[in-house]
Amino acid sequence: MQDSNHSLRRLFDLVARLRAPDGCPWDREQEVGDLRAYLLEEAHEVAAAIDGGDWDEIRTELGDLLFQIVFITHLAAERSAFDLDDVVGRIEDKMISRHPHVFGDEKLPDSAAVHKAWERHKLESDDAGRSLLGGLPRGLPALLTAYRMTQKAAGVGFDWHDPETVMLKVDEELAELRSELSDTAEIQANPAVRAELGDLLFTLANLSRHLGLDPEAALASANTKFRRRVERMETDLAQQGQSLANLDDEAMERAWQAAKKADRD
């Protein structure tokens, strides 16, 4: 493997060339705020590539994401805020301090103990502030936020004991939602329905964590499966001179079951 620091330097120099007076006019005009959308887009594309399981695609998307990171770092260096060595040095120091069981004398028996120690060390560090959840960005998708918040709470022992206990809570939240639905005809006008639905989704995110699954990835997989099956329905119906828009409920169900069977086969 090539020297990673050398590779980062090459990429940093490439950005410098693009930002040079005789470089690219578009790249020279970019400010840090202009790159926010690209950074988020590339991060989502990395996540999509991971969902797809194609290592070549993951490599490509990681490169696109890394370019945005290096570009932002170069903008900071131009303003003498920090440079590439500062970025690498800061994360290196942080990872060493958060892994005393690797780089120090602390002994931890398993990954569960490591996770609890990680959250404890974060709370004790100067840069984390006093809030357990303070480090979570508010712009994360809601399902991912629920997953990460319960991860952090579990890290300090605020958690249910096992998946079965969480499933009982799921049943409880579902019953509460049913109760609210039965009490009103105006669902959208009843804030309690929204609250109970939120509680149910939050508990399902917690259940995902107890099962060792990322709920965002699980939902992304379900979305992909649904898209694939709907597109199969559309293809099959088009071959018959039909479309989803003109089917009755019975025909729609037959088409759906046929698409499901084809997908499984």
At residue 6, the pLDDT reads 82
Length of the chain: 265
At residue 52, the pLDDT reads 86
What are the angstrom distances between the C-alpha of 99 and each of 89, 90, 96, 108, 120?
A: 16, 14, 5, 10, 12
Share of the chain above pLDDT 70, in %: 93
Give pLDDT tens digits for 227-241: 999 999 999 999 999
Residue 145 half-sphere exposure toward CB, CA atoms < 13 A? 11
Instruction: Report, in angstroms and rounded to the nearest whole number, the Rg of the chain calculated over CA atoms.
Output: 25
Average pLDDT, the chain: 88
Structure-model confidence comparison of residues 94 and 197, the more confident one: 197
- Residue 70's pLDDT band (cuts 50, 70, 90): very high
Give pLDDT tens digits for 130-141: 677 877 888 788
Model confidence, pTM: 0.66
Residue 178: pLDDT over 70: yes
Residue 127 half-sphere exposure toward CB, CA atoms < 13 A? 6
Name the nearest CA neighbour of 228 among 265, 251, 254, 260: 260
Structure tokens at 232: 């199969």
Q: In the predicted model, what is the mean pLDDT of residues 122-132?
A: 64
At residue 80, the pLDDT reads 95
At residue 153, the pLDDT reads 87
At residue 220, the pLDDT reads 86
- Residue 126's pLDDT band (cuts 50, 70, 90): low
At residue 166, the pLDDT reads 95
- Residue 185's pLDDT band (cuts 50, 70, 90): low
Q: Which residue has the tokens 């096992």?
A: 162
At residue 130, the pLDDT reads 63
At residue 173, the pLDDT reads 96
At residue 230, the pLDDT reads 94
At residue 1, the pLDDT reads 43
Q: In the predicted model, what is the mean pLDDT of residues 7-11?
A: 90
Name the nearest CA neighbour of 73 among 84, 63, 62, 65: 84
Domains and CATH numbers, the chain: 4-97 (1.10.287.1080), 217-264 (no CATH)
State how far the Cα of 162 lies from the Cα of 154, in Å rounded to an integer: 12
Residue 13: pLDDT over 90: yes
- Residue 45's pLDDT band (cuts 50, 70, 90): very high
Q: In the predicted model, what is the mean pLDDT of residues 126-133?
A: 64
Dihedral sign from CA coordinates of 34, 37, 39, 42: negative
Residue 117: pLDDT over 60: yes
Q: In the predicted model, what is the mean pLDDT of residues 162-175?
A: 95
Burial of 161 (0-12, 13-18, 19+ CB in 10 A): exposed
